[in-house]
Amino acid sequence: MIKPDFIPTADWNLILRHANSFLNEPYLIAGIGWHETHWGRLGAGKIGFILGYGYWPGSTVKEKYKGLTKQLKGANKMLVDHYSRPITLDHTTDFAVNHWKSSAPRSWAKSVYSIYSNLKKGIIPIHTDTEVEDLTERVVELEYHIKFFEALLKKIKEVF
């Protein structure tokens, strides 16, 4: 099995070890990692969530899934528990819709399956600069302002 160029050797060895212990397909894991973060180059991948497993903006529990080993353990277990074999677009879509729970599961499935299929053929995905911004801090700030104005309106109502 040929290591994709976008994955460092140490990471690939870790992928192989975890995928083999869970009887999963390493290229499927690589496809998820490329789709989610371009293998750590984008978004939450820069802070240790290469596969996006257990990460969503605003989550307070995400730290327990941080780091490649935890990402691989979590994603591999989820695949074993919920991904029907063989690896097909239909099975990837079912997994995405019912278990992975991305914001756009059908698009996620098409992308991940396409990357997986191309990796099996030796085709490396092209790097894009597309990145979904983490709006966690903005949401927290917005919620603060909303609560402030709600309290202000309540006080005004009490006074008048």
**Domain extents in the chain:** 9-131
For residue 51, give the nearest of 1, 43, 59, 113 by alpha carbon.
Answer: 43
* pLDDT tens digits, one per residue of 98-135: 999 888 899 999 999 999 999 999 888 877 665 555 55
- CATH level 2 (architecture), domain 9-131: Orthogonal Bundle (1.10)
pTM exceeds 0.85 for this model: no
d(CA 26, CA 12): 9
Per-residue tokens: 76: 């591999």
